[in-house]
Structure 1
Amino acid sequence: MGQLQIPWEEELAQLRAPSPQLARAVVMVRPVDFAFNEETGADNVFQHRLGLAPQEVTRRALAEFDAMVERLCSHNLDVLVMDKRHDEHVTPDAVFPNNWFSTGHDGSVYVYPMHTPNRRRERRVEQLSRLLLDNGFRIDQLSWAGHPLEEELILEGTGVMIFDHPRRRVYAARSHRCHPTALYRYARLRGLDDVVLFDTADSHGVPIYHTNVMMSVGERVAVICGESLHRDDERASVLAKLAEHHEVIDISFEQVEQHFCGNILQLAARDGTPLMVMSEQAWNGFTPEQQRTLERHGQPVVNPIPTIEAVGGGSCRCMLAEVFLPRQ
């Protein structure tokens, strides 16, 4: 007779099962009140003022967003668009939802503590849940990865955590938006096997605010700005771990700071075709050789989003919250 497996063992087995690296669906949030965020601008050196009227900034951001959604859908990626009522709180960075929630193949949704008050207001958990359920996804557990009003132990989702899902590994750069205690608590909660925490500095010596502007990990390819890891031992260790299973593209400070080459995301279409999603500025910032490497790992999906990048200080990856949830 076979051994009886009790429910908690089934759940544990599901949690420990290998997770796919590439999501086949994403959530995006329309930037209906997009603007320069004064609260995050204090330490996000990627944000810039364009000298345009606020209404024009929002108009341009909406046009860039809608074109990106249409382009992703044309590549057979499932895109779930979350809108907001105009009478809700102003959330100028809502177009970057990957910072406040993430999903897992085990049916989990985690909501994260955010660094600034106006970004905490982006967390419309009930609306997100309804969107996912209405589109046929299953939610078995919804949890807060920290206190909703946390002001110190901040952990801004996949903005600061770069996952290598099959190896149960997470890469993270220490910053105001990634507190080590919060990171290790989350890793223990999720049963991760390897936490790779490191320090970074940009070309001016300032810590990089989000790991995902200098690093991206796909299925068999990874992009990283090696020179931003200013400690030789950490740089050697991180590059060695990446090279175990990935073809590594090492990008420069200029490619990070002027082109958002680190802020890209590999996804999969409904039929499993790999897609390399990035901005037009990022694609143009890669060298021809680097472009050829990316093309070997997926079809480039290139999106012109100059207003969102300049004013928001984030690029395509920040606009995409991956959905790994099982279907109902």
Structure 2
Amino acid sequence: MMSAQAPAAIVMIRPHHFHINGQTALDNAFQALDTDLPIDGQADIAALAHAEITQAAKHLQEAGVTVHLFEDQTTETPDSVFPNNWFSTHAGGHIAMYPMKAENRRLERRPDIIEMLKHRYRVQDVIDYSGLEPDGLFLEGTGAMVLDHIDRVAYATRSDRTDPIALERFSTHFNFEPMAFAASDAHGTAIYHTNVLMCIATEFALIGLDMIEDESRKREMISRLKASGRTVIGLTNDQIGNFAGNAIELQGAEGRILALSTRAHDALTPDQIETIEQSARLLPLSIPTIEMAGGSVRCTIAGIHLTPRG
């Protein structure tokens, strides 16, 4: 059965000049500037990232997901592999484009991708919020927000990348109820993007509950998710640190799948895996080089919630 939460088509960007983005390191504690990977030099990192996305896209296609794979040729966009931050799509034919905090991330917005969506899918309008950037108002797409497309709630951690004015504006335009909350890791460092600690699927939700600072807000979030018929799976801080929250449910050829990284999958407990597999098949994808940039599988996927043209 198809679900509004699980898109059957996605956009991915294959990087050609991937490297760690110095402009985002200040508020992204998930970035790793050194690694145990057997790599030597920038060219090797870029080649590994290119190969990881190539393989991830192949596995997703084999699972029956439609993958629109674009190439990035410029050296100016080190985080281009994370397209979910600069645009999102919505049922009814709507596209949103977002204001980005890092200046070099603003260069990731691509008219050719928007044009492809208009050509292949029914698009009524494109709402562009990037004009908020000069005022320092940022809202980094489905990184900043984890959207419940069924219950119409936009969950958002408070950070420099999630401005409350921009969040309110998006929620009004796209008919979501905004639910902002403060979240931090065990060291007290604020979580930079909501999608590293939270994943909402059709029948379950993964959440780093220990990171939510306000107990009443935490109870409210759990209550809302349970009321929508979902099982809430709490993730530990260590699991979040291994990107277990950075997953996305997609519609495959033979049912729903949960795409996540191999590292994230290995961090889950057998009981958590059993709960997830009651409604979605786990699809681990190996992207260790890309995870050095502070994002995982969810960040590399922009879901398409649009109706294909006939």
Q: TM-score range by the shorter chain?
A: over 0.9
RMSD over aligned Cα, in angstroms?
1.4
Give 5+ residue unaligned stretches, structure 1: 1-18
Give the structure 2 partner of residue 157 of structure 1. Answer: 141
Name the CA distance, whole Å, in 2 between partners of 1:207 and 1:156.
16
Which whole-Å CA distance do the structure 1 matches of 2:279 and 2:135 have between them? Answer: 39
Deviation at 1:89, TM superposition (A): 5.4
Q: Which residue matches 1:41?
A: 25
The answer to whether structure 1 residue 96 and structure 2 residue 79 are counterparts is no
1:63-98 deviations in Å (ceiling 9; x for gaps): 1110001000000100001113x3x45100000000
Q: Deviations over 1:17-52 (max 9, x none)?
A: xx8111000000011111010000111111112364
Correspondence 1:107 to 2:88: no
Distance 2:251 2:107 in 1: 30
- Contact residue 173 and residue 210 of structure 1 kept, 8 A: yes
Q: Match for 2:96: what amino acid?
A: Y
Tell me whether 313-322 or 158-167 shows the greater mean CA deviation. Answer: 158-167
Identity %: 34
**What residue number does 1:128 align with?**
113
2:239 paired residue number? 255
The runs of at least 4 aligned residues of structure 1 exceeding 3 Å deviation read 148-151
Q: Tell me by how many angstroms 1:131 deviates.
A: 2.6
CA offsets 1:191-226 (integer angstroms, 9 cap, x no match): 22x221110111110110000000010111100011
Indicate the residue corresponding to 1:234 in structure 2. Answer: 217
Task: Note the 1:158-307 alignment, pairs <5 A.
Answer: 158-192=142-176, 194-244=177-227, 245-257=229-241, 259-270=242-253, 273-307=255-289
Instruction: Read off the aligned partner of 2:263 and give its amino acid letter.
Output: Q
- Structure 1 distance, partners of 2:294, 2:261, is 13
The residue identity in structure 1 corresponding to 2:308 is: R
- Give the whole-Å Cα distance in 1 for the aligned partners of 2:166 and 2:114: 24
Q: Point out the structure with max Rg over C-alpha.
A: 1
* Partner in structure 2 of residue 71 of structure 1: 59
SS of 2:290's equivalent? helix
SS at match of 1:200: coil
Query: 1 CA distance for matches of 2:156 and 2:304?
Result: 20
CA contact (8 A) 2:257 2:283 kept: yes
The answer to whether the Cα contact below 8 Å between 2:17 and 2:75 also exists between their aligned partners in 1 is no
Specify the alignment match of 1:315 in structure 2.
296
User: How far did residue 318 of structure 1 move?
Assistant: 0.3
- Supply the AA of the counterpart residue of 1:109: I
Cα-to-partner distance string for 1:170-193 (whole Å, 9 max, x where unaligned): 11111011011110111111122x
Q: How does the TM-score come out when normalised to structure 1?
A: 0.89
1:270 to partner: Cα distance = 4.4
| Alpha-carbon displacement from aligned partner over 1:153-172 (angstroms, at most 9, x marks no partner) | 10000001111112211111
Question: Which blocks of at least 5 consecutive residues in structure 2 are unaligned?
Answer: none
TM-score by length of 2: 0.94
Match of 1:143 in 2: 127
Letter of the structure 1 residue corresponding to residue 183 of structure 2:
T
Q: Distance in 2 between matches of 1:252 and 1:49?
A: 24
Counterpart-to-counterpart distance in 2, 1:133 and 1:108: 10
Aligned residues: 302
The 3 A distance-change label for structure 1 pair 237 and 280 is same
